Amino acid sequence: MATQSPYPDTLANETNLPDVVQFVDTYDAEHMNMVRAFIRDMTAEIGVNPSGNKTTLVERLAVSLDNDGKLIWPEQIVTVASSGGHFNTIQSAIDSISDAAVNKPYTVLIYPGLYTETVTLKDHVNLAGFDKHNTQLLNSSFMGVAVTMPADAHNKISNMTLNTTGPMSKSILMNGATLDVMNCHLTGVNRCMNVEAGTTNIFGCTFSGDQGAISNSADNVICNIYNSCFTMGSHLFVFQGDAQVNIYNCHGMGSMIQVNTGSCGIRNCSFVTTSFTVTLNTAAMRITNSHLQAGGDNPALKLMAQSANIVVSNSVLLKSGSAAESVYAYYENTPCSIALCSMNAGLHANCVNQIADPCNVLDANLN
């Protein structure tokens, strides 16, 4: 191995680069020159020079480190910490930002610690904790909200815990915003998230608390939930109005999933509840490749309106206790489409399966 780097601080062009030999891999100068030329040509098209305008290592360090040797953050990153950050509260960091835009988003980077405050975001200002277990935002007021999104805002929240302890509190309140929540833990005494309007995308999060995980209180709601886990004392979800909900690759434990109106898709999920797993009113629902297990003396699915539009395929539907059926219907002649499912009991007499040869498996020993 060479004891001295073959690359000088200043490189005028891509000629005369020596070969680099490291371990068993050999890169010849011609190949490396071609790679550099490709990078140069591609970045020239978008007006970006990967080397910047600093040609020496000393010049590059001068704009990267301060006099104490600490990293100088890019101007669109604002840090929050109990000491050593730009600010010591999350809201003061947000308030300092006045020029955030779709082509100039800001990130408020939050160091580990407990931050007891109420936060209202601005459009294109995102929150990012260092890790979800040790970066916690707490609101303890009676009807408190940990984070509020203004109408029509676009925000992201990642890698932190949002906690509320008030009896009527919520971790997140949305009103017409577009929000991505990634790798967060939401917990509280009351409901974790209330979506009044807007679009919510949830990725890899955990929810826990005494009441429900997510609910909506108005129309025009789209909620997509991916790879998340729910442990709730009450409802997992309550959706109404014209909500459009998709739940993928999730696991949940709670009292039930309630979908009053709108539409809901459940795919590749497992939900084990203390009551009936899903109750459906006039909504449309598709359940695929999922495991739904009820608790108490309840069916897995409970259809409460003839206009409920339910399609279930390749799933396990388990009633519990003394319940007579895996799928119950309140009204006579309630249509449903259930095929290729495994159940420990059949369909209620009021259910009319729309599939002529559903190929369902009934086995009372399933559990």
Residue 119 lies in a domain: no
For position 241, what pLDDT does the model report?
77
Q: Are residues 53 and 164 in the same domain?
A: no
Based on the fold, state whether residues 325 and 181 are members of the same structural domain: yes
In a shared domain, residues 221 and 343 = yes
- Based on the fold, state whether residues 162 and 306 are members of the same structural domain: yes
Same-domain status, 200 and 63: no
Residues 51 and 163 in one domain: no
340 and 223, same structural domain?
Answer: yes
Question: In whole angstroms, what is the distance from residue 314 CA to residue 317 CA?
Answer: 10
The residue segments making up the domain with residue 34 are: 1-67
Query: Residues 215, 343: one domain?
Result: yes
Q: Is residue 367, in this structure, part of any structural domain at all?
A: no
Q: What are the average pLDDT values for consecutive 10-residue runs of the chain, which has 367 residues?
A: 46 50 54 70 54 63 73 81 93 96 92 94 94 91 84 92 84 83 88 83 89 77 92 78 89 86 92 88 92 93 91 96 93 95 95 93 85
Residue 192 within any structural domain of the chain: yes
- The two tokens of residue 62 are 């001068």
Q: Which of these three, 47, 67, 87, is where a domain ends?
A: 67
Same domain? 63 vs 180? no
> Based on the domain organization, do 318 and 181 belong to the same domain?
yes
The tokens describing 364, both together, are 């009372």
Q: Answer whether residue 77 is part of any domain.
A: no
Residues sharing a CB contact under 8 Å with residue 75, sequence separation 6 or more, in sequence order: none
Beta-carbon contacts of residue 61 (< 8 Å; ≥ 6 apart) = none
Q: What is the DSSP letter of 18?
A: P
188 and 43 within one domain: no
Report d(CA 358, CA 338) in Å as an integer: 7
Domain boundary among 67, 96, 122: 67
Confidence (pTM): 0.79
Nearest to 250 by CA among 236, 235, 233: 236
What stretches of 262-366 adopt beta strand conformation (E)? 263-267, 270-273, 278-280, 284-288, 291-293, 301-303, 309-313, 316-318, 327-329, 334-339, 342-343, 351-353, 361-362
From 13, 34, 67, give the residue that closes a domain.
67
Q: For residue 352, what pLDDT is reported? A: 95
- Mark whether 319 and 212 lie in a shared domain: yes
Residue 126 covered by a domain: no
Q: Is residue 282 part of a domain?
A: yes
**63 in a structural domain:** yes
The count of structural domains within the chain is 2
Quick check: 90 and 118 in contact, CB under 8 A?
no
Residue 8 placed within a domain:
yes
Tell me, what's the pLDDT at 365? Answer: 84
Q: For residue 42, with 0-12 CB atoms within 10 Å meaning exposed, 13-18 middle and 19 or more buried, which class applies? A: exposed
